[in-house]
Chain A
């Protein structure tokens, strides 16, 4: 079984050649960026103006929480982070490369979008998944 991993969300793209990336859909009328495919813009209501765009791979930490209690089987603690990418899109994900300590986490700290296996999680058919993470820059 050397199947390639599946994307954890439909806006994570794994091309046959080249690096994985995150895809947004940008409104041609107002510029709003959405995650996932859609035809109508919920900011301005424009129809059929959406264009797929490759999202930036760098951004800044906007907000966060350090999660100490989650659902059964989910390893804690981890940092749940809201990140503004350089192109204006906003994403949520795990922040890695920094200790889960409020004193160590700074608003606007630069982060990089990295891709890695989804913490070993597999679906019922045994498929592996590729996920994205925010890596704090040293």
Chain B
């Protein structure tokens, strides 16, 4: 099988664009990614489009209606917060399988404000606040408190994740926010669902990101190897059975399974990874994934945030983009925006937030329900 390379990748600055349509927002990133590698829509042999909010709305085709109707196959993808990563993976798989030599993956989302999560079934009475909470901040708070019960992780340690990621975002012009949030500001912000305060919840934003993926032969033929980034591993898992997962969506076991498979596929280990963009939908979640991804041993996640090992300049910088907490989390776009961030570092083009000497990076997303997508990328 051929190797597959990201030859063009970009994202728009995340924000709130209520006056634009989903296809318009997606088309902007698609054109940016094409421009990044100097190709045109005529070079693209297929489009994989990730979007959640209009999952039945043929968003991919409507993007092509804005940027070039070449008649190529379009696959519209929906997989919760793993939507973008899944679209990217489908594009990668098609190139790996030899179906196409050059394809486009786009992730796009237009979000409302406010809480995410189910309020219960359509019949009967609302279960929220009656049978506990199904809101996302509470669900991820409970997952974080499970870590607290095992290892004594504190509210302050969870809060430090937000301090770090907000700091990182001050160096990223494409992040929604560029605001420093000191520890006392994070801890004293409105409590949403203990231990997650408002500043420990990801930001609902609109956004899009896109990537052009080529086979090795095509990338060489087009003279695009210089800035190409090799996809060393692409893994998608669903949630393996866990004893509490009827009531406690499990983000740990699907991540551990995906990480193991990704390291195997890439033929390397966590010690080889230079930076990670992981799914910090809530500050509590990031702590769990240090261990789930093998960045440290079980029980050491609190120490990782305390010592700055996961900050820019540390042993293994995590979410130098600002993460979902401050860059923003447009659900369907997030997975490809992560690819953009890591690829930008591997290309040495990340400016003030550049992870020096980065050669190999990892992206990780979780779609609750559940889906975990992991990619390992390497500078070609």
Contacts and interface: CB of A to CB of B under 8 A. Distances in A.
Nearest to B139: A65
B246 A35 contact: yes
Interface stretch (B63-71, B188-196, B313-321): B188-196
A122 B125 contact: yes
B149 A62 contact: yes
Given A64-B142, A68-B190, A8 B130 contact: yes
A134 B142 CA distance: 16
Given A66-B193, A123-B123, 19 more contacts: A8-B124, A8-B131, A32-B241, A63-B145, A65-B133, A65-B137, A65-B142, A65-B196, A67-B194, A69-B192, A69-B193, A70-B128, A78-B133, A80-B138, A82-B142, A90-B248, A119-B130, A121-B125, A129-B125
Contacts of A88: 243
A63 B125 contact: no
Could you tell me the dominant secondary structure of chain B's interface residues?
loop
B222 interface: no
A67 B142 contact: no
A80 B247 CA distance: 11
B18 interface: no
22 contacts: A8-B124, A8-B125, A8-B131, A62-B149, A63-B145, A64-B145, A65-B133, A65-B145, A67-B133, A69-B193, A70-B115, A71-B129, A71-B135, A78-B129, A80-B132, A80-B138, A81-B132, A88-B243, A90-B247, A93-B132, A107-B149, A123-B123
Given A6-B124, A8-B124, A92 B132 contact: yes
B125 A69 contact: no
Nearest to B119: A71
A51 interface: no
A116 B262 CA distance: 49
Interface in B97-151: 115, 119, 123-133, 135, 137-138, 141-143, 145-146, 148-149
Interface of A: 6, 8-9, 32, 34-35, 42-43, 62-71, 74-76, 78, 80-82, 84, 88, 90-94, 102, 107-108, 118-119, 121-123, 129, 131-132
Contacts of B191: 66, 68-69
Could you tell me the dominant secondary structure of chain A's interface residues?
strand
Nearest to B124: A123
A67 B246 contact: no
A13 B145 CA distance: 31
Contacts of B138: 65, 67, 80
A94 to B, nearest CB: 6
A90 B135 contact: no
A63 B248 contact: yes
Nearest to A119: B130
A85 to B, nearest CB: 11
Contact of A69 (B119, B132, B190): B190
A73 to B, nearest CB: 8
Contacts, number: 128
A23 B325 CA distance: 40
Interface residues of B, number: 37
Interface string B28-54: 000000000000000000000000000
B244 interface: yes
Given A63-B142, A76-B129, A129 B247 contact: no
A107 B148 CA distance: 9
Contacts of B146: 62-63
A69 B130 contact: no
A104 B66 CA distance: 57
Nearest to B191: A68
A123 B123 CA distance: 8
B194 A102 contact: yes
Which of A69, A84, A94, A102 neighbours the largest number of chain B CB atoms within 10 Å of its CB?
Answer: A69
B125 A68 contact: no
A75 B16 CA distance: 30
Given A67-B135, A70-B135, A91 B192 contact: no
